[in-house]
């Protein structure tokens, strides 16, 4: 009863003081292909203006309520939530062989050694390097992805959680300025075969060549440009990929879809909201829109027939009370797509929205092998 009374007070205060924006969609786009991101959200389907105002109002109140609840719990020592059992965070050790380790795993470690520590992967899916990302976690806590080479040695590592250990003074949450002081000047270009690729100037990550590995450090600009995740790829594995875009296949499409889903849930856990359930039905809705954009060379929530995300979901008989869509195109992988979405506030709100329950991700490739990503969130 106390919880419901508390929520009622929060809703009343939110109605009294919030100023909802007028636009239903929050779009963020630049001319560079790898920065293409779009998001759209809706609550009530009949009146777009009412939908936009109520959506923004409830979203802002929910975020404010969660923050206020956390502060009250810190002050009183009492929690109103009944979260799932929290996994024990591992004791992180200083790397023995290299500058970085993730979840106490270093590049070159044997697969049997990794799985003796972490158990079997929750999912294995094809990545852009022609190998697989193996996702290890406990209900998306202690989340790490590991790629192995042909000798079953660790050739790729990634995490977006507080599992980074280093011989340098760098970990999850380290400011960008401190990273540059520790690691020196980052790369601004990379050679693939006979082509030299220039990295985009306005990026939220830095690339370094360290210990024979390509280390990508991602920053969260909504948390003062601090380290939010890290990817480490063996130099040999990276150079085997002759261009930034891998030749499309059904397995790669499916791999990107599941990886984006897992990354989303890992970040939801980071921010104290419940994990989403995979929805096969709405995945097909998302896939069709990605394919339509890829084949017809456009990038928008509204398709060429004038149908919105919510029209398309209704047409596919997806029942929802609240729904949202994020779009991205041209990113090298689901990791880069997710990190870009998290650095755009409208997309971030969709990813972290507490009242969403389901997510389906659909990916398609255009004639230049560039991926289009569609995320469809909803609750009913």
**Model confidence pLDDT, tens digit, residues 261-319:** 999 999 999 999 999 999 999 999 999 999 999 999 999 999 999 999 999 999 999 99
234 shares its domain with 104:
yes
Lowest mean pLDDT among 92-101, 108-117, 236-245, 247-256: 236-245
What sign does the CA torsion over 244, 248, 251, 254 have? positive
CA distance 211 to 214: 8
Q: Considering its fold, how many domains does the chain have in total?
A: 3
38 shares its domain with 105:
no
Whether pLDDT at 10 is above 70: no
pLDDT at 14 (0 to 100): 30
Condensed to tens digits (0 to 9), the pLDDT of residues 56-85 reads 555 555 555 544 544 444 344 343 444 456
Which residue in the block uniquely carries the two structure tokens 């929750």?
A: 122
Whether pLDDT at 13 is above 70: no
Establish if 85 belongs to a structural domain.
Answer: no
104 shares its domain with 3:
no
232 shares its domain with 308:
no
Q: Are 27 and 39 in contact (CB under 8 A)?
A: yes
Question: Which of 171, 205, 240 corresponds to the end of one domain?
Answer: 240
Nearest to 3 by CA among 63, 72, 86: 72
57 shares its domain with 109:
no
Establish if 179 belongs to a structural domain.
Answer: yes
Establish if 90 belongs to a structural domain.
Answer: no
Residue span of the structural domain in which 34 resides: 1-76
Establish if 44 belongs to a structural domain.
Answer: yes
Q: Are 205 and 339 in contact (CB under 8 A)?
A: yes
Establish if 128 belongs to a structural domain.
Answer: yes
- Token pair of 255 as six digits: 């791999």
Whether pLDDT at 18 is above 50: no
234 shares its domain with 264:
no
255 shares its domain with 235:
no
Establish if 352 belongs to a structural domain.
Answer: yes
pTM, entire model: 0.81
235 shares its domain with 277:
no
Condensed to tens digits (0 to 9), the pLDDT of residues 125-139 reads 999 999 999 999 999
232 shares its domain with 255:
no
pLDDT at 12 (0 to 100): 28
Q: Are 117 and 105 in contact (CB under 8 A)?
A: yes
Percent of the chain with pLDDT over 70: 78
Percent of the chain with pLDDT over 90: 68
236 shares its domain with 263:
no
196 shares its domain with 271:
no
* Rg value, the chain, Cα: 21
pLDDT at 19 (0 to 100): 25
Question: Which CATH number covers residue 353?
Answer: 3.40.33.10
351 shares its domain with 369:
yes
Q: What is the dihedral of CA 349, 355, 360, 366, to 10 degrees?
A: -20
pLDDT at 11 (0 to 100): 29
pLDDT at 29 (0 to 100): 30
Condensed to tens digits (0 to 9), the pLDDT of residues 94-111 reads 999 999 999 999 999 999
pLDDT at 120 (0 to 100): 97
Question: Which of 212, 240, 268 corresponds to the end of one domain?
Answer: 240
Long-range CB contacts for residues 193-199, cutoff 8 Å, separation at least 24 = 193/242, 193/243, 195/243, 197/244
Mean of per-residue pLDDT scores for the chain: 83
């Amino acid at each position: 009863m106390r919880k419901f009374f508390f929520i009622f007070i929060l809703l009343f205060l939110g109605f009294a003081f919030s100023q909802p924006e007028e636009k239903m969609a929050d779009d963020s786009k630049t001319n560079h292909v790898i920065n293409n991101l779009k998001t759209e959200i809706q609550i009530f389907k009949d009146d777009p203006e009412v939908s936009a105002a109520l959506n923004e109002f409830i979203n802002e109140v929910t975020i404010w309520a969660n923050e206020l609840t956390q502060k009250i719990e810190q002050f009183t020592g009492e929690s109103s939530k009944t979260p799932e059992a929290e996994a024990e965070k591992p004791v992180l050790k200083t790397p023995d062989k290299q500058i970085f380790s993730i979840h106490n795993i270093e590049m070159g470690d044997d697969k049997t050694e990794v799985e003796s520590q972490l158990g079997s992967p929750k999912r294995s899916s094809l990545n852009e390097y022609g190998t697989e990302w193996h996702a290890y976690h406990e209900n998306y806590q202690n989340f790490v992805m590991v790629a192995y080479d042909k000798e079953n040695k660790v050739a790729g590592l990634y995490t977006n959680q507080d599992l980074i250990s280093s011989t340098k003074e760098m970990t999850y949450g380290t400011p960008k300025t401190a990273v540059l002081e520790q690691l020196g000047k980052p790369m601004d270009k990379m050679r693939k075969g006979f082509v030299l690729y220039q990295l985009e100037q306005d990026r939220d990550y830095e690339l370094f060549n360290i210990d024979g590995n390509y280390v990508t450090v991602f920053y969260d600009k909504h948390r003062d440009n601090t380290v939010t995740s890290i990817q480490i790829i063996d130099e040999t594995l990276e150079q085997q990929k002759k261009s930034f875009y891998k030749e499309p296949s059904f397995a790669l499409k499916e791999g990107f879809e599941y990886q984006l889903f897992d990354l989303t849930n890992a970040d939801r856990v980071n921010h104290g909201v419940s994990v989403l359930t995979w929805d096969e039905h709405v995945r097909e809705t998302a896939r069709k829109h990605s394919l339509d954009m890829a084949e017809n060379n456009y990038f928008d929530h509204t398709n060429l027939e004038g149908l919105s995300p919510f029209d398309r979901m209704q047409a596919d008989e997806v029942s929802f009370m609240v729904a949202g869509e994020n779009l991205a195109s041209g990113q090298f992988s689901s990791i880069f797509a997710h990190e870009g979405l998290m650095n755009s506030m409208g997309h971030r709100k969709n990813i972290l929205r507490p009242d969403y329950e389901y997510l389906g991700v659909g990916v398609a490739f255009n004639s230049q092998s560039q991926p289009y990503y569609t995320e469809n969130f909803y609750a009913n």
